[in-house]
Each structure stands twice: as structure tokens, then as C-alpha cells.
Amino acid sequence: MKIRILTVSLLFLTSCSYISGPEGLFPPTRDDFLKERIDQDIQLPADLNLFLVENHYPVNESKELIDNQDVPRPRQIFASSGNSSVQLRRLGELMWIYVETLPSTSWPISKSFWDTSSYEVLEMDPVTGEMLINFDKTTILKMKIEHGIKEASTEIFLIQLDKESNEIVSNPELVQNELSKLVNYFAESVDQFSGTSLAAQNLNEMKKAKIFVENGQTVIELGLSFDRAWSSITKAMDASEIFTNDKDRSNGIFYVSYVEENDDGILSFLNIGRSSKNKKVNFDGAKFEVKITEKNNKTYVRAFSKDGKIEEAEKLISKINESLS
């Protein structure tokens, strides 16, 4: 019996060696690469045209092994988000869409609108927020997405260009018609839309309203024309219930009275049940000037106290800034 077992074992080992051993039918090949030799490069004929192929995935030629080497992750193009109110606004012939959401969210919604329209999108750049749309045989529409004055807001502009001259064509009716379509699309999409373009994140940082200190005085910087800045500051002061005694638009000056709020206890602190009777307004004459100046396509807003009360002027400009943002 033992002889039979030994014989079978020998036959089994022999067969394994015959099949997969170094001299077997299927020899191991995992170390064969160590025996490979580097041949000379192929010599091509001198008259053969070569097409250079860009190496998109270069390999580190270093012969040293690196234990901890950081490999960059794939860049994410889309992430989730969403939100809110949409309005078509106008100041003279200037029209734009106001959206209460970041430009990086407005970009993919706008892109979706034009992609699903009957028009051809010629160019698009999420970094600058611009799209060129082939409207008809003579017209190109240029859409521009910008950060609004308020935090986390978007302003969308549409400009008509002549195809041959590339000059701006004034056609308010056409622009308003196309903006109205886009407003309706946003109104239907913005609350359900759950995307934000990471390629357009740069637009979120290009804010139109900034604040800085100059010679100890707080200044609001607006990336707006004088007309828009005047309108925006007027609305901001109205929203903050800052009462204007008089205006001098030609010199960019608001003459205003400072508003003090009475302390009505806990209800006043929570802003519950507050009305105009809770405020003391000085109508004896304007105590402050809010001045708008324009320089290098930007406007600057400063507050001055006629009585030299610098702290009160700072509170006033801060209140205006809060309403803007």
C-alpha cells in the first residue's frame, strides 16, 4: 500500500513539473522581463514626415523608487448646490437679470438654456463668464455673467453684436425679449437645479462691491457706472431707512439725517414689532453727506459728518454697506 502511495505521489510531482516547470509545457514567465535587452531606435527614412504626438501621461524617468508620491486627483467639474429669486431689472437702456445665487450656479443653468435652444453656441468661457451665441445671419449675442452687488448674487447681461463689424447694436426690444426667456427658464430651474460649475468658481470672487479703509475713513468701492451706483445707493439707504433731506446728483451728494433706534428691550433686539415710531429722526437739517465719486470705471462711496463726528459717519457708511451686501 505504501509503495502505491509513493508511486502516485511521484507521478503527480513529475506531471506538475512536466506541465508548469522550467522545461514544461507552460513554463513561468514572470521573470522573463529581466532578460530583455534594449534595442536601438528604429531608423526612419529621412523623407518620411513625422507627426509629433503629445505625451499626455508622462512617466517619471527617475530610476529611484519613491515610497510616498502624491498623485493628483482628477479635477471635479461639477458639484451640488442650488437656490432662489430671479428678476429682470432695467436702468435706462441697460437691462440685466438679477439672480439670488452664486455665478458658479448661474453658469450651468445659462449654459443649459442655450444648449437646449435653437441657437448655436459659438464660444463659451466659464472663467470670464462669457458666451457667444449665433442668433441669426447678421447678429451674435454675447452673454456675460458677473457677480452682483449683493453677496451670493448674479447679474446676467446680454449684448447684441453685428457679425461683420463686431460693433454693439442697440436693440432693447430684442435684448429684453431674449432676457425674458432666460428669466423664465431660471425661474423654473433655479430651485430644482442642484449643480455648480467648479470651472466658473473664479466668478464668485469677482465681486462688484468692496470695502476698504483710506486715511482712517471707510470707503465702499463699486464696480459700477455712476448711474448704477447712484441708483444702488439710493435703494440701499431707503432699505436701511436712512432719510434723505436733499440730493445733488450732478455732484453725487446725498444730504441725509442720521437715524437713531430706541432700545425697546428684548423685542427691539429681536427686531420684532419694530416700526417707524421706534426711530428718532433729525429733520432739523442734514448732518451728514454721502458722496459718490467716479474714477477709472469704478465708483467710490464715502460718508462725511458736518459736525466732525467721525464715528457716526463710520456707522452710517457701515449701515449702507450692510444694505448693499
Backbone angles phi, psi at 140, to 5 degrees: -120, 135
Residues 197 and 215 in one domain: no
Asked whether residue 173 is domain-assigned, the answer is yes
Q: Do 188 and 86 lie in a common domain?
A: yes
Indicate whether 127 and 187 sit together in one domain: yes
How confident is the model at residue 29, as a pLDDT?
75
Within 8 A by CB and 6+ apart from 307, the residues are: 287
pTM above 0.75, yes or no: no
Q: CB pairs under 8 A, 24+ apart, for 142-148?
A: 143/110, 143/114, 145/103, 145/106, 145/107, 145/110, 145/200, 145/203, 146/103, 146/203, 146/206, 146/208, 147/102, 147/103, 147/203, 147/204, 147/205, 147/206, 147/207, 147/208, 148/98, 148/99, 148/208
H/E stretch holding 256 reads strand 253-257
pLDDT of residue 192: 75
Pairing of strands 259-261, 279-281: antiparallel
Q: Which three cell numbers, joined as nine digits, stand for 313?
A: 459717519
Residue 269: inside a domain: yes
- Is residue 62 one of the residues assigned to a domain? no
Query: Which residue, of 149, 175, 203, is where some domain finishes?
Result: 203
Pairing of strands 298-305, 288-295: antiparallel
Residue carrying the nine cell digits 425679449: 177
179/148 same-domain check? yes
* Domain shared by 224 and 261, yes or no: yes
From 180, 203, 226, give the residue that closes a domain: 203
214 and 300 together in one domain? yes
What whole-number distance in Å separates Cα of residue 302 and Cα of residue 291?
A: 5
User: Based on the domain organization, do 221 and 176 belong to the same domain?
Assistant: no
Instruction: Give yes or no: residues 163 and 125 share one domain.
Output: yes
Residue 73 lies in a domain: no
Domain boundary among 203, 237, 269: 203
155 and 97 together in one domain: yes
The string of pLDDT tens digits covering residues 48-96 is 665 544 444 445 555 555 454 443 333 322 222 333 488 898 888 889 9
Distance from the first to the final alpha carbon of the chain:
96
Rounded Cα distance between 108 and 101, Å, is 12
180 lies in some domain: yes
CATH of the domain at 232: 3.30.310.170
Contact 214, 314 (CB under 8 A): no
* pLDDT beneath 50: ranges in the chain: 52-58, 66, 68-84, 263-283
| 245-283: pLDDT as tens digits | 899 999 999 999 865 555 443 333 233 334 444 444 444
The helix (H) or strand (E) run that includes residue 3 is helix 2-20
Residues 246 and 308 in one domain: yes
Residue 162 belongs to a domain: yes
Residues of the domain holding 104:
80-203
Q: Could you tell me if 232 and 315 lie in one domain?
A: yes
Q: Give the CATH number of the domain where residue 86 resides.
A: 3.30.310
What is the total count of domains within the chain?
A: 2
Q: List, in sequence order, the alpha helices (H) in 199-264.
A: 201-204, 226-239
3-state secondary structure of 305: strand
Tell whether 95 and 164 lie within a shared domain. yes
Does a structural domain hold residue 52?
Answer: no
Does residue 235 form part of some domain? yes
The rounded distance, in Å, linking the Cα atoms of 280 and 124 is 53
Q: Please give the Cα distance from 128 to 140 (Å, whole number).
A: 18
